[in-house]
């Protein structure tokens, strides 16, 4: 059923994004931008074709960064940063992904509660490597390197970062380019918690209950050719409203 809204809240763990739209947005029309960027135009010259290709690629990268940022913030248990490299100069992403997926199977066998979000990237020499954010328990580096069995690894704990999602998505997305365009841009455990999207008067209810006395940590106004002017605000709460990673009506209507 079609409906409109002019307020949207996206809750990712403790991080909250608020969108205020100048004009009402039709829910069923939100993906028109996808159609515009994916529908093949007719009779474009080479310059226009290249321009459209870059627009598609940038839109895809931005959308991926947003999805990564929200997933990371929704899963604070992912607090280890793991880098996997190949000793051999493997430049074929399909081959690298096959080896990586085998590694994940071995990790899941050894650690049944293992969760991760991983991004394949290319080094300057063209070799594929992987960055993972994961909930890895204590393990000796030598043992982890043996499980990987392909080359050098590096493991760090993420400390003293308030908005981990913003930090990680910026870092992980810095090397996304045309080599990964049209391919799977990241891998993740299927049971990771999701961000929660709230629209319309329910979004206003959330703002009144949790954000009215807070100062945003970031704000901006931008214009979209599809939905017009948008006011954007980012907030950080000191608690997680939707602990299960899904919408719960009681969170909005239960007294604080």
Residues 146 and 223 both lie in one domain = no
Is residue 55 a part of any domain in this protein?
no
Q: Are residues 170 and 87 in the same domain?
A: yes
Task: Tell me the average pLDDT across 195-222.
Answer: 96
pTM of the shown model: 0.82
167: pLDDT strictly greater than 70: no
Residues 59, 75: Cα–Cα separation, whole Å: 25
183 and 217 housed in the same domain? no
Domain match, 178 and 145 both: yes
pLDDT at 169 over 70: no
**How far is residue 100 from each of residues 43, 50, 74, 105, 134, measured CA to CA in Å?**
41, 32, 24, 9, 14
Token readout for 142 is 């030598």
Residue 37 lies in a domain: no
Average pLDDT over residues 25-38: 58
Strand order in the sheet with 218-224: 196-199, 4-12, 15-26, 228-236, 218-224
What integer best gives the mean pLDDT of the chain?
85
Q: How many CB atoms lie within 10 A of CB 240?
A: 17
Do 112 and 157 have their domain in common?
yes
Residues 179 and 109 in one domain: yes
Residue 160 pLDDT class (50, 70, 90 cuts) = low
The CATH number for 131's domain is 3.30.70.1910
Same domain, 102 and 129: yes
Whether 172 is in a domain gets the answer: yes
Query: How many distinct structural domains can be found in the chain?
Result: 2
Residue ranges making up the domain that contains 169: 76-188
Q: Find, among 200, 190, 83, the residue nearest to 144 by Cα.
A: 83
The answer to the question of residue 177 being in a domain is yes
Range in 99-108, 146-155, 223-232, 242-251 the model is least confident about: 223-232
Q: Do the domain assignments include residue 39?
A: no
Using the 3D structure, point to which of 188, 207, 225 is the last residue of a domain: 188
pLDDT for position 60: 74
83-112 per-position pLDDT tens digit: 999 999 899 999 999 999 999 999 999 999
Residue 70 has pLDDT above 50, yes or no: yes
pLDDT the model gives residue 123: 80
């Amino acid at each position: 059923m079609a409906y409109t809204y002019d307020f949207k809240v996206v809750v990712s763990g403790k991080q909250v994004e608020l969108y205020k739209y100048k004009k009402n947005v039709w829910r069923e029309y939100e993906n028109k931008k996808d159609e515009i960027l994916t529908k093949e135009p007719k009779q474009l010259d080479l310059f226009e074709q290249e321009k459209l290709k870059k627009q598609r690629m940038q839109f895809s990268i931005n959308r991926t960064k947003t999805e990564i940022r929200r997933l990371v913030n929704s899963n604070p248990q992912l607090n280890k940063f793991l880098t996997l490299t190949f000793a051999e100069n493997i430049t074929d992403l399909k081959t690298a992904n096959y080896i990586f997926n085998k590694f994940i199977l071995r990790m899941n066998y050894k650690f049944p509660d293992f969760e991760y979000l991983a991004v394949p990237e290319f080094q300057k020499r063209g070799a594929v490597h992987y960055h993972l954010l994961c909930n890895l328990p204590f393990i000796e580096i030598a043992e982890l390197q043996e499980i990987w069995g392909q080359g050098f690894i590096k493991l760090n704990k993420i400390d003293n970062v308030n908005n981990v999602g913003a930090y990680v998505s910026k870092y992980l997305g810095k090397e996304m380019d045309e080599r990964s365009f049209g391919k799977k841009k990241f891998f993740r455990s299927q049971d990771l918690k999701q961000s929660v999207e709230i629209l319309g008067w329910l979004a206003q209810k959330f703002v009144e209950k949790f954000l009215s006395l807070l100062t945003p940590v970031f704000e901006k106004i931008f214009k979209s050719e599809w939905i017009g002017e948008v006011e954007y605000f980012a907030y950080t709460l000191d608690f997680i409203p939707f602990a299960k990673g899904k919408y719960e009506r009681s969170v909005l209507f239960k007294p604080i």
